[in-house]
A and B are shown apart, each in its own frame.
Chain A
Amino acid sequence: MGEFTSGFFMGDSSTNGRVLVVDDEPDVRKVVRMTLQKAGYDILEAENGEKAIETINAGENRLLLDILICDIRMPKINGVEAIAYFRANYPRVPVIVLTGFPDADMATSMLRQGVVDYLVKPVEGEKLRESVARAMEQRELAHL
């Protein structure tokens, strides 16, 4: 679906990768940004699923987006719908769920849809960075 899958862009030396953080709560986006910028990631933000879909389809993001970090409970298009869209249209972008609601059924269903990790807030910075680093490895492996 129009996804450019060369690893060429990942070779960009200025960043460890580009991450889209989708959460309706500005506070959460702010700390995720803080945490990941320290590890050298470039961060994009969206406040709901609708904005996330707009963001990835804008400009060169579709080429450069490496990882999606997505909340579940959000207005407009919620996380479940947004993730389904990303899995269908950008299957090579790993998705990490970061949610406030520890729900085993939801976690199972998300992992079945190919989500690489299901993290429950509050998540420690170290754990989040590890999860993103693992997802980056998968992303690169997928491009080989």
Chain B
Amino acid sequence: MQPLTDRTVVSKLASIKVAILGAGRGGTALLDLLHLIPSIEIVGISDRDPDAPGLVRAKHLRIPVTGRIEDLIYNHGVNLIMDVTGDPAVEQFVQDHKRPETEILSGSAARVLWELVRHESNLQAELFHAEKLAGIGSFAAGLAHDINNPLQLIMGLAENLAEEKDWNTVHEQAREIVEAVRRTSAICKDLTQYARKTSARDETVVCLNNRLDEALKIARYAVSFHDISVRKDYEEGAAARGSADEILHVLVNLITNAVQAMEQGGGKLTLTTERFSDGANVRISDTGCGMESEVLEQIFEPFFTTKEPGKGTGLGLYNVKTIVTKLRGKIDVESRVDHGTTFTISFPTASEGAT
């Protein structure tokens, strides 16, 4: 027998066309995982319930959906039917009607697969959250600065009010105190929103310009912007489809890195958005230290970091890439030592109504 070479394995894999029956939690989880794998093509997903979450998700991913499982079973191209309905009647129906060359994954085998997928997706979410929390640790200094300064103002004014005799001054300083409290509470609001556990399911059309502005605000707590000028070059209407929280996280990560690359001697941070008929781009560009090509090759690897021990988790860009890939986007990086680095994210098109 001819040994299987890598090439034959790949071409065999390349031909896997999968149909998913059942678009509940199991079907959705499978969809999320399988659509990221280039050698697998999802030819369709079906569920009797037209509002099943997997059907909604599939529409966003532009995967054909149907209410009739027959459409998928009789489909000529399908190599593998994944039945995650858990319904014995469906299992029997598929067995009886499938084309002879089509393989079936159903019953307990499908359940085991679903458990694996769910486990993997939980791990991914935990990793993402852990990295975000680790990042928030670096906010401590900026946060203390931005909260304790207004508190110092409030303390000083309140102490003065206790003995102030001029009523105009009393009124003016009381107003200043109220204003300082408002500013301080706004900081907590920004950050607690950012720190909360992201729900990747909250998919909407996201306005990239608004998210960039928000990310800039949050990044200021994490890194010092002194001697760094910020240039915004936004195109109106630049939007992407995805979770606003996840996109924000990606942007905070890239802006923080860009500013850190300019720590020595300052520089210019340029934030650009562009809108095309088939999508939108975000570009984050710095004039910082840049990266050697061997560093560049590894930046998206998990646990790779050039930062001092305790300063970086090595998960930042890994998570960035994971999220961008999930949103069917692409991330490119160009870098020159001592000249700077530019990250470009290309998002596929999103419909109107960005928030």
- Whole-angstrom CA separation of A103 from B146 in the bound complex: 15
| Interface-lining segment among A9-17, A28-36, A55-63, A134-142 | A28-36
Known: A73-B141, A73-B224, A102-B144. A28 touches B149 (CB 8 A): yes
Residues B145 and A101 in contact, CB atoms below 8 Å apart: yes
- Chain A 71-117 residues near chain B, CB threshold 8 A: 73-76, 100-103
A143 within 8 A of partner (CB): no
Quick check: is A25 within 8 A (CB to CB) of the other chain?
A: yes
B180 contacts chain A at the CB level, 8 A cutoff: yes
| Contacts A122-B148, A122-B151 given; does A35 touch B180 at CB 8 Å | no
Q: How far is the CA of A102 from the CA of B249 in the complex (A)?
A: 27
Report the minimum CB–CB distance from B150 to chain A (whole Å). Answer: 7
* Chain A: CB-nearest residue to B156: A31
Indicate the member of B148, B152, B154 with the most A CB atoms within 10 Å. Answer: B152
| Distance of A100 Cα from B145 Cα, bound (Å) | 5
Residues in A neighbouring B153, C-beta threshold 8 A: 27-28, 30-31
Residue of B nearest to A27 (CB): B153
Contact B152 A27 (CB under 8 A): yes
> Which residues of B94-153 are within 8 A (CB) of A?
140-142, 144-153
Interface of A is mostly: loop
| Cα–Cα distance between A120 and B141 once the two chains are bound (Å) | 12
A34 to B179 alpha-carbon distance, docked (Å): 19
B196-228 toward A: CB 8 Å interface, digit per residue (1/0)?
000000000000000000000000000010110
A125 contacts B by Cβ under 8 Å: yes
Query: Contact residues of B with A, CB < 8 Å?
Result: 140-142, 144-157, 159-160, 180, 224, 226-227
Please, could you name 16 A-B residue pairs with CB atoms under 8 Å apart, sorted by A? A27-B149, A27-B153, A27-B180, A28-B149, A31-B152, A31-B157, A31-B160, A35-B159, A73-B142, A76-B227, A100-B147, A102-B144, A103-B141, A121-B152, A123-B152, A124-B155
- Residue numbers of A with Cβ under 8 A of B are 25, 27-28, 30-32, 34-35, 73-76, 100-103, 120-125
